[in-house]
Amino acid sequence: MRHLPSIEDPNLLVGINTGDDAAVYRLSDEIAIIQTVDFFPPVVDDPYDYGAIAVANALSDVYAMGGHPLLALNIVGFPDNLDKDILAEILKGGSEKASEAGVIIVGGHTIDDPEPKYGLSVTGIVTPGHQVANQGAVAGDKLVLTKPLGSGILTTAHKNELLDKAGLKEVVDVMATLNKDAADAMMEVGAHACTDVTGFGLLGHLKRLLDNSNVGATITLQDVPVIGVAWDLADRMIIPAGSMKNQMWIENDIDWGSSITDSARAILVDAQTSGGLLISVAPELHGKLLAELDKRNVKGSTIGTVTETSIISVV
């Protein structure tokens, strides 16, 4: 992206400079559009579940900005020699998840691809100035995470036939859950900053948010929600390649406490699919945010505090 010309447009409220979840463009004093795109190969074998997860993941970028997704276009890569009933199930899973979100899928584009890929280009709206970005965190803020970690580890185990049915169901339920209710709670209370946790893992996305805000954070491991079986799998070093790249990327910016094991490090950098929202909220609004999340049956976990230092400490 550094080879592309810089963009200067007063109506571009959020662009590429901060690596945010989506772009925000002002159309009027009342309406700005949010634009994003996301697609990926299957993370589970069941085509319906795959479609639902891909859609929940794509919509998450809009929710992380505090917006309301409205329209979407399917993006599909599919092998010409594979049973088209599989594609139908993928699209059905995606369509029903979009309907749950109140989003209309109005078309799309398909190409012949040796490996299936599916996702959405999504358009949402937000009131200009009310968008939430991955910058603006303030020292003293509380950090709240709305989904447990471990989806990358569990889906890797699934691909290697090392995950039982109960574990698979749990991780599918987590990945297919929309971040709509979490975003509604955030917008009801107000937040300084937010990002969704996906491929760069918790610490990778947190690092970007903190760097953009010129602050640091202290994370308390025992407060970080984790899908239970992920601990055993991490102990057995069943870890996605992407997670190991994440750890290499952030290693020099982390002060690991002496009690933090290799398994814990793997979980904190685990490359997530359709993860939760990571919200930086003022301490005086923290309790209200947790209450609003609870009212919507969203488990909000307070995992740390924003600090004035430029380092992430994990204790």
Q: Tally the domains of the chain.
A: 2
Rounded-to-integer distance, Cα 92 and Cα 314, Å: 42
Q: CATH code at 194? A: 3.90.650.10
Q: Kindly tell me the sign of the dihedral angle through the C-alpha atoms of 63, 64, 66, 71.
A: negative
Structural domain for 93, as ranges = 12-126
Does residue 169 sit in the same domain as residue 309? yes
pLDDT-based confidence at 5, cuts 50/70/90?
Answer: confident
Task: Report yes or no on 31 lying in a domain.
Answer: yes
Tokens read off for 67 = 């917006």
Domain boundary among 126, 160, 187: 126
Does residue 195 sit in the same domain as residue 262? yes
Kindly list the strands in the beta sheet with 312-314, ordered across the sheet, starting from the edge strand earlier in the chain.
193-196, 277-281, 142-145, 301-307, 216-219, 312-314, 254-256
Does residue 35 sit in the same domain as residue 73? yes
Task: Report yes or no on 244 lying in a domain.
Answer: yes
Domain boundary among 73, 94, 126: 126
Does residue 17 sit in the same domain as residue 157? no
Does residue 121 sit in the same domain as residue 146? no
Does residue 161 sit in the same domain as residue 303? yes
Does residue 168 sit in the same domain as residue 64? no
Does residue 112 sit in the same domain as residue 161? no
pLDDT-based confidence at 115, cuts 50/70/90?
Answer: very high
Tokens read off for 272 = 């997530």
User: Mind listing the pLDDT tens digit for each residue in 275-313?
Assistant: 999 999 999 999 999 999 999 999 999 999 999 988 999
Span 104-122, average pLDDT: 97
